[in-house]
Structure 1
């Protein structure tokens, strides 16, 4: 006989705690800005994906408030019923123009977009070839599709080609993140596009962490690599990172997007995002496209952090993106260093399994255009002190 649900769940939570993998939500008071109040403690936020510093930008809030006064707070239905507002339509047109595609389709979240697109287009008898470190939503979308899944070694285009050779007679989808969320490195997009072409596969790229940061007008890593819709027929990205709002989208050729609209369950059976939120996202898109000054400042901060980390002997990954992980190894050490940084006024997340592989727990440091040089320098000083103290305790 089964234990009570409460007893079963209690055992699961206890096991997570024992493995130093227990995660909890911090309560943020006020805006989600570079400086926040987390659980009552004022600190500099170095674990945000708000790469251009737009999440607390007054212009977005004002646009959302004005739209809310006339459009209300909800869309009241799914997109294919009556939930598709003129603000949604305008946002999709502006997104398509930004990334150089014929059409875009907005989803409520990045997870919904990735799960919906992959499961809408692929089915049993098809093959999905995926990077080993793809985001969980891409992994789940592949599982839900029913297609046979092949996993290639992280960022290894040659191995991706070998996996494509193993595919059967059905449709083939090669899928990757552009910038990987836990390591900050970039996929070999041009090489993957070449292999997709030679194997008759469709390359799908989730540019969530590249959009707004790289490329002309911040159009992303795909645009930076010069890959059009023939080379990358499915381009996905989010609106909750550099754009400073919420939601996600897929962009591609007109007929491709129409096919997704007609069959993506995560879109068809979800209430559409609030129109006022779409209005705020439009403001964020406009500011991101015009945000070269923000990008220049962000790149300077990334270079400053990396130079300082190297000078201090800190174990930084090879990443030119705002994501700068420090691999610390075991869960307890990552947690202890994160807590020590918080005590010094820096919010830096400890990332542990199952998000990353066992033995690779880390601090995931993210830089934004909202940070200043002095804040980056202060973080480096704190990291040096905290890691030195932690090493002394381990050696004692």
Structure 2
């Protein structure tokens, strides 16, 4: 295995090798990382549900009733009543006909894209779509083309050039782009899809629980219910547990249960996780206090960082990048911040393009103004000591 050792050594020499930190506490505003208490500003636990008492209690009850595992794939004996209840809950919350749950959001994109497209079809994908979409597109037999990020003129150019050559054309976009925090131009995408008889597919991993009424997501935010064919979401970010789902028509769900490989060849979600997720959706449905607190914290933090002169890109969501550029400096900044008491992960190639390194700050409903002030103070002092600010 010398060739792998050489590759690892190359990462170390380039200054971009990272060792995974070890967390000994629940995901909260302050965690114990590598044996030291630090402010947590890199979790996707937007609403603080990952350690919420109501989710924990729901999970415990399901453990007693169903055990720790489903025991099989959905198509054999792994389809428990709690899985059916979960999908009904999600579909109702998202205001769609049906929902189908996967073991992860990544698997959802892998499983759906390849199942609903054939060699007679074309996929048009935004150039900044998530890695799971990119891999899902690679698994498909359809032809592929990439349009420039959120560039509707480029998307229409591809539709004009190629639409007549294929049976189906599937336009795929993130709802919220995870590295920059900007929103897809979903109304324009839907308009083009209607004009050129194409299908639409939105991965709303960072929009579900964050945008729209009570966190219903990007489709709800833009008032496009019934106009997007495939709506993807995760259950591990704002919902705080694990898994992914796709919402759409009843026919879509029925077909995917027969042809989506993660359902045919992988054991279904743990029943305790399903129970916790159901409780999370009930909490969202009954109150918007969590999403309101998240957005209040996000606006507060963004304002503080901008006042100090940091470049936070063009984020439209709680995702807040601090743009650095140089990859080595990005990783060094991240490490120094951790040493100083703030955990924010450095994001570099291949997650983002070379020369686009950044610290991605992820605020949540768990933070309060005092914690955020402390974090900003540490970020400012560290940046100045490293001549970043």
TM-score in same-fold range (> 0.5): yes
Corresponding position of 2:224: 227
Whether the aligned pair in 1 keeps the contact of 2:310 and 2:323 (CA below 8 Å) is: no
Distance, in Å, in 2 between the alignment partners of 1:101 and 1:350 is 37
Corresponding position of 2:348: 352
What is the DSSP-based 3-state SS (H/G/I as helix, E as strand, rest coil) of the residue aligned with 1:249?
strand
Alignment partner for residue 150 of structure 2, among 149, 155, 170?
Answer: 155
Aligned residues: 387
What is the DSSP-based 3-state SS (H/G/I as helix, E as strand, rest coil) of the residue aligned with 2:75?
helix
Shift in Å at residue 19 of structure 1? 2.7
Matches for 1:1-16 after TM superposition, within 5 Å: 6-16=1-11
Corresponding position of 1:254: 250
What is the DSSP-based 3-state SS (H/G/I as helix, E as strand, rest coil) of the residue aligned with 1:33?
coil
- Residue 195 (1) aligns with residue 169 (2): no
Shift in Å at residue 212 of structure 1? 0.6
- Residue 122 (1) aligns with residue 117 (2): yes
- Residue 178 (1) aligns with residue 182 (2): no
Distance, in Å, in 2 between the alignment partners of 1:97 and 1:20 is 48
User: Following TM superposition, where does structure 1 have runs of at least 4 consecutive aligned residues deviating by more than 4 angstroms?
Assistant: none
Shift in Å at residue 113 of structure 1? 0.3
Structure 2 residue runs without a partner (length 5+): none
Corresponding position of 1:241: 237
Shift in Å at residue 8 of structure 1? 1.5
Shift in Å at residue 256 of structure 1? 1.3
CA shift digits 1:337-375 (9 cap, x unpaired)? 111211221110001111110001110100100111111
- Residue 39 (1) aligns with residue 34 (2): yes
What is the DSSP-based 3-state SS (H/G/I as helix, E as strand, rest coil) of the residue aligned with 1:48?
coil
- Residue 216 (1) aligns with residue 178 (2): no
What is the DSSP-based 3-state SS (H/G/I as helix, E as strand, rest coil) of the residue aligned with 2:150?
coil
CA shift digits 1:2-45 (9 cap, x unpaired)? xxxx1111112112222333233221102122211111111111
CA shift digits 1:40-85 (9 cap, x unpaired)? 1111110000111111111111111111012100000001111011
Corresponding position of 1:334: 330
Corresponding position of 1:3: none
Distance, in Å, in 2 between the alignment partners of 1:228 and 1:366 is 28
CA shift digits 1:114-154 (9 cap, x unpaired)? 01000001121211000000000101111100211111111
Alignment partner for residue 268 of structure 1, among 264, 273, 281?
Answer: 264
Distance, in Å, in 2 between the alignment partners of 1:266 and 1:85 is 17
- Residue 98 (1) aligns with residue 93 (2): yes
Distance, in Å, in 2 between the alignment partners of 1:277 and 1:159 is 41
Corresponding position of 1:287: 283
Whether the aligned pair in 2 keeps the contact of 1:204 and 1:233 (CA below 8 Å) is: yes
What is the DSSP-based 3-state SS (H/G/I as helix, E as strand, rest coil) of the residue aligned with 1:184?
coil
Whether the aligned pair in 2 keeps the contact of 1:52 and 1:288 (CA below 8 Å) is: no
Shift in Å at residue 267 of structure 1? 1.9
What is the DSSP-based 3-state SS (H/G/I as helix, E as strand, rest coil) of the residue aligned with 2:144?
strand
Whether the aligned pair in 1 keeps the contact of 2:214 and 2:291 (CA below 8 Å) is: no
Alignment partner for residue 44 of structure 2, among 49, 66, 71?
Answer: 49
What is the DSSP-based 3-state SS (H/G/I as helix, E as strand, rest coil) of the residue aligned with 1:310?
helix
Distance, in Å, in 1 between the alignment partners of 2:280 and 2:347 is 28
Distance, in Å, in 1 between the alignment partners of 2:263 and 2:11 is 33
Shift in Å at residue 288 of structure 1? 2.4
Whether the aligned pair in 1 keeps the contact of 2:152 and 2:188 (CA below 8 Å) is: yes
